[in-house]
Structure 1
Amino acid sequence: MNKKTIGFIGSGNMGSAMIGGILAAGLVPAKQVIVADLNKEKLAEMKALYGITTTTEGREVAQAADYLILAVKPNVYAPVINSIKDLLTDGKVVISIAAGQSLAAIAAMAGETVKVVRTMPNTPALVEAGMAALCPNDKVSEEELANVKAIFESFGQAEVVPEYLIDGVIGISGSSPAYVFMFIEALADAGVLAGLPRQQAMRFAAQAVYGSAKMVLETGKHPGELKDMVCSPGGTTIEAVATLEECGFRSAVIQAVNDCVAKSKAMSQKE
C-alpha cells in the first residue's frame, strides 16, 4: 500500500476521519493522499493539519488515485461520477461510503468494468474505533480488497460481507451510534435525576457503555451471559432489568433496527 495513492472526493467528517486514521497508521505517506472539495477553507485546514495534497478539482484526484473514495452525499453521486468516469481505468478501485448506492447503481453510472467496493463505515471512525462493512464487485482482486480492508482497519475494524446483507449492517452498525448516544444521554439524565452533576453523570454513563462493549469483544462471551454476571438475586440490577423488559426495551431496539433496514432498502430501490 505504501506505493499507492489514496484519493478522496469530499472532505466531510467521515472523509476527514478516514484521512486521519490512514496517516496515523502510516498506511501511506501524506504525499500519497489527495483530496478534492469545493470548500477552500476546509481544504486549507486539512492541508495544514495533515500535509496532504488538496485541490478543488475532482478530476485531478480521479487521475492521481489508485484507490478513489467517494466521500460525498448520495444525492450528488451521479454528477460526480459522470464528471470523472472517463478517468476510471482498469487500475483504479472506486470506494463508495454512501448509503443507498448499490454496486449495480454505481456500475450503471461509472461503467460495468469499473472496480467498485461498496462500504458502510460509521462515525466512531472519528476516534479510530469505527466498524465498516465491505462489499466488492467481481472486478476487484483479492489483493485490492485486502488493501481496501487495510484502509478501513487503519481507523477501526472492517469485515467483508455480501451486498445483500448491507442493509442489516446499516441498521446495527452504520446508524446504531445514534441509538447508543441516545442511551448514554438517557443514562446521564437518570444520573442527574439521582443528584449527580451533569458532566460526571455523562462520564459514568459513557464509560459504562464503552467498558461493556469492550467486555463483549474481548471475552467472547454472549451478552446475555455477561448481563447475568451483573444481576445478583434480588439485587438492584435485576430490578432495573425487569423494568427494561416490562417497558419493551429490547423489542423497541429490534423494531428501530428493522425500520432502519427497511428505510435503507427503500433508498436503494429508489436509486
Structure 2
Amino acid sequence: MLRLSRAKTKARRPRLPDGIRIYAISDIHGCADLLQQMFTVIDRDLANLGSMRAIHVFLGDYIDRGPESRRTIDLLIERGLRHESVFLKGNHEAFLLEALQEPLQLQAWRRFGGLQTLTSYGLRPSLSPDASEQAELIRQLAIAIPPHHMRFLGGLRARFVCGDFFFVHAGVRPGVPLAKQEEHDLLWIREEFLQSDEKFGKYIVHGHTPVQQPDIRPNRANIDTGAYATGNLTLLTVQGDSLLAL
C-alpha cells in the first residue's frame, strides 16, 4: 500500500474536485481473473462510499500477453454499463486496430503478445505465420471480434483530465503543453517522460512501463506492475489530494 508522500510534495498537492473518487487500473493484458478480483475490492469500497461520485478510469493495454483478452474486454464493457467509466487507449489496442487494417502488421504485433489475443478469440495461429497466413488470420479475426468489442475499441480515448490529474496510458512529452500532446506520445513514450522531473501542469497518472511496485512521485504515478508476468494488478484510488495504491 503506497501513498503520495507529503514530505516529497511541499508545494500544493494535486487535488480532485470535492465529492469525486477515482479508481484507476492500467495494463491488464488479458488477466481477466485479476481484473475480477479488483472489481471485488472496488465493490467493497463502493458499498461504503455514500453519495460520492465514483469514476472508474482504465489506462489501456487490456489485451495481449495474458491468456484472456476477449474475456477482459467483456468484463470492461459490462462494468461500463453499471458504473461511470473512462476507457483509455493503450499502444496494444492501437496495434490491434492497425493490424486489422494492414495484415502484415501481425508480424510485429505478435512480438507484443498478439498471438495470445488471436487465441482468445478462438483462432489457432502458428508460432511464425507467413504472409498468407497472416492475411488469413486477420480476416478471421475481423469476423471473430464481436461488433460490441469493435465499438469499445473504436471509442477509446487518448487522455482523461479530472481536477489536477491527467490520466494517460504511457505519459507525456516534456516541454509540450498538455493540450498539444500527440497521441503517439501518449501511447508510446518512455524514457524522455520517465526521466523528467518537470511539473507538467497536471499530475500524470500512467502505466505502460512495468515497475515492481507502484511508483508514486511528486509529478507522476506509474501503476503498471506487470500483471501478466507478476500476477500483481494495481488499483489506484484518488480522492481529494490523497492517492492510495493497492
Decide which structure has greater helix share: 1
TM-score (norm 1): 0.29
The structure whose Rg is larger is 1
TM-score (norm 2): 0.31
